């Protein structure tokens, strides 16, 4: 492996001069500059970033902990974060946890060991100790989409789940529905709690009673949505409208619906959090709440780089707007 010393020797200069030529900063005479560049060329020298990181105390790495990078929402967020990172000369280390808190802890520990310069967290549970260590080590951290309750001082980038859910459910209620159900997310997940709260609020405001059996906590993945929807549809009396926690669960829910020959929207109205390119083309087109996933990621990146550049970001929550797409999956009940 050819090192900076080899280049220095070949060019007949000191390592410092080589570094100066390559990294800029202090000027170097044209003559030497050229000699160095030629040596670099001839030796096919590639500077060792690991050594540079060690010396500088900066890795140029951003850690991103997600539950599953294959989830479209997550992937969009990742992309937004990455673009922001690239803008600052950074790269992104992505790790999926599958909502496994042990795995989460491992990932955070590994981020700490690698001394990533900042961490974005888009995952599930508390990960308390892991995050605590990041904080202790002064690694800028931001939560994305959701944040454990006990970590309020760390910034969060999110959408207003509660209001968005409330509005969507109100839309159902305004259509005339009085018996609503929800395919919710895992109880421990803050966004699940918020969307459920929005659902309940809207119902309560309208004076509607929510039957407990109509609210199913789906574990994540399409399978969870399927199971939950099955339970709802197999009730002796079905609700006339269902609100889904996210698009993945909604897809599972659609499977259950199809399996039972339930007609949407005639027999059942459906609204879901999270939009998808294909929802407009589903039979019927799915009414959905769109989250600006890309922007969420980008915003998280901005926050992190602000911190890296020395700004104080504690307590800075960023709330991005949602968009409600009314399509064809809802109708008045009893049609």
Report the nearest approach of its own copies to the CB of residue 63 (Å): 9
Nearest-5° Cα angle at 250, 187 to 77: 75
**Cα angle at 148 between 142 and 152, to 5 degrees?**
65
- Which residues of this chain interact with its own copies, rule CB under 8 A? 44, 46-51, 53-54, 59, 61, 68-72, 74-76, 78-79, 82-83, 86, 91-96, 109-110, 112-115, 133, 136-137, 222, 251, 254, 258, 276-284, 294
The dihedral region occupied by 131, where left means phi > 0, alpha psi between -120 and 50, and beta the remainder, is: alpha
Residue 29 near DNA by CB under 7 A? yes
Distance CA 140, CA 308 (A): 7
CB of 183 to its own copies, least distance (A): 16
**From the list 34, 38, 43, 51, which residue makes contact with DNA (rule: CB under 7 A)?**
51
Which CB, 46 or 70, lies closer to DNA?
46
Residue 13 binds DNA, judged by CB under 7 A: yes
Phi, psi dihedral angles at 317 (to 5 degrees): -90, 140
* # residues contacting DNA (CB under 7 A): 30
For the CB of residue 50, give the shortest distance to DNA in the complex, in Å: 7
- Of DNA, its own copies, none, which one sits near residue 110, judging by CB under 5 to 8 A according to partner kind? its own copies
Question: CB-hemisphere CA count at 13 Å for 47?
Answer: 15
Q: Indicate the residue among 55 and 236 with the shorter CB distance to DNA.
A: 55
Which of DNA, its own copies, none sits in contact with 17, Cβ below 5 to 8 A by type? DNA
* Paired residues of 100 in beta bridges: none
Q: Residue 122: what are its φ and ψ, rounded to 5°? A: -130, 75
Residue 214 in contact with residue 243, Cβ under 8 Å? no
With respect to DNA, which residue has the nearer C-beta, 53 or 223? 53
- C-alpha 300/C-alpha 298 separation (Å) is 5
Which of the choices DNA, its own copies, none does residue 105 contact, using the CB cut-off of 5 to 8 A by kind?
none
Nearest to DNA of 20, 195 (CB atom): 20
Are 309 and 149 in contact by the 8 Å Cβ rule? The answer is: no
Q: What is the pairing mode between strands 241-244 and 215-217?
A: unpaired
Shortest Å, Cβ 174 to its own copies: 26
The reply to whether 4 sits near DNA by the rule CB under 7 A is yes
Q: Are 112 and 137 in contact (CB under 8 A)?
A: yes
Nearer to its own copies, 203 or 250 (CB): 250
**CB of 36 or CB of 253, closer to DNA:** 36
31 binds, among DNA, its own copies, none (CB under 5 to 8 A by kind): DNA
Q: Are 81 and 145 in contact (CB under 8 A)?
A: no
Which residue, 49 or 280, is less far from DNA as judged by CB?
Answer: 49
Q: Which residues contact 139 (CB under 8 A, 6 or more apart)?
A: 111, 112, 115, 116, 117, 118, 119
By CB under 7 A, name the binding residues for DNA: 1, 3-5, 12-17, 19-20, 22-23, 26-29, 31-32, 45-48, 51-52, 54-57
């Amino acid at each position: 492996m050819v090192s900076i010393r080899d280049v220095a020797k070949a060019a007949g200069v000191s390592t410092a001069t080589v570094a100066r030529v390559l990294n800029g900063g202090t000027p170097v005479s044209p003559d030497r500059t050229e000699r160095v560049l030629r040596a670099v060329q001839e030796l096919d020298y590639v500077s060792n970033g690991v050594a540079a990181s060690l010396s500088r105390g900066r890795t140029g790495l951003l850690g991103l902990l997600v539950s599953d990078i294959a989830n479209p929402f997550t992937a969009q967020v990742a992309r937004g974060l990455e673009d922001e990172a690239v803008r600052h000369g950074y790269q992104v280390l992505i790790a999926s946890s599958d909502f496994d808190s042990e795995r989460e802890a491992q990932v955070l520990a590994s981020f700490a060991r690698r001394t990533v310069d900042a961490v974005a967290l888009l995952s599930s549970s508390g990960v308390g100790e892991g995050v605590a260590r990041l904080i202790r080590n002064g690694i800028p951290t931001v939560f994305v989409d959701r944040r454990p309750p006990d970590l309020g001082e760390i910034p969060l980038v999110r959408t207003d789940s509660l209001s968005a859910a409330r509005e969507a459910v109100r839309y159902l209620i305004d259509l005339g529905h009085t018996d609503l159900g929800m395919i919710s997310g895992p109880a421990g997940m803050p966004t699940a709690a918020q969307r459920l709260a929005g659902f309940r609020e809207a119902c309560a405001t309208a004076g509607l009673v929510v039957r407990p059996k109509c609210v199913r906590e789906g574990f994540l993945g399409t399978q969870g949505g399927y199971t939950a929807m099955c339970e709802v549809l197999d009730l002796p009396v079905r609700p006339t409208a269902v609100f889904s926690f996210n698009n993945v669960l909604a897809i599972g829910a659609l499977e259950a619906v199809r399996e039972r020959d339930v007609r949407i929207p005639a027999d059942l109205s459906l609204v879901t959090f999270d939009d998808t390119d294909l929802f407009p083309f589903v039979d019927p087109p799915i009414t959905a709440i769109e989250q600006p996933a890309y922007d969420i990621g980008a915003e998280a990146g901005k926050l992190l780089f602000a911190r890296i550049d020395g700004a104080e970001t504690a307590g800075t929550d960023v709330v991005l707007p949602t968009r409600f797409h009314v399509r064809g999956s809802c109708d008045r009940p009893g049609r």
